[in-house]
Amino acid sequence: MEDNKLTIIYDGEEVIADILFTHYSEVTEKNYVVFQFSDRDEISAAVFVETEGGEGYFEDVQTDEEWEMLDELLENYLGDDQDDEEAQDDESDED
């Protein structure tokens, strides 16, 4: 498995997702993983619970406050990507 991909059981099917970013919240004291399913444009998130030996499992995001925090982080993440693309476009226009 590649470092930026994960396999999830979704609706009884194994699907591949690309990890967009991870985030540790000092407020909730939880680790979050935000990912996009490889075969569609759907983006989701989960809480990563680490167990002994560096392994772990995912739990559902529980509260509206957590989803709001993750939505804000995702907007910032996507905004940064768009800014990077615009900067690259500007540089190629100058050539």
> CATH number, domain at 41?
2.30.30
Question: In total, how many domains does the chain have?
Answer: 1
For 10-53, the pLDDT digits (tens) are 788 899 999 999 999 999 999 999 999 988 889 999 999 999 88
Helices (H), the chain: 64-94
User: Is the pLDDT score of 1 beyond 50?
Assistant: no
Helices (H) and strands (E) in the chain, counts: 1, 5
| Residue 24, pLDDT score | 97
DSSP assignment letter at 31: E
Give the HSE-up count for residue 88: Cα atoms under 13 Å, Cβ half-sphere.
Answer: 6
Using the predicted structure, report yes or no on whether residue 89 has a pLDDT greater than 70. Answer: no
pLDDT at 40: 85
Query: At residue 52, what are phi and psi to the nearest 5 degrees?
Result: -60, 145
Segments forming the whole domain that contains residue 87? 5-94
- ∠ at Cα 12 (32, 61), nearest 5°? 20
Burial environment of residue 30 by CB neighbours within 10 A (0 to 12, 13 to 18, 19 or more): middle
pLDDT above 90 for 70: yes
Q: Are 34 and 45 a contacting pair, CB within 8 Å?
A: yes
- Rounded to the nearest integer, the mean pLDDT of the chain is 85
Average pLDDT over residues 53-68: 92
Does 76 score more than 90 pLDDT? yes
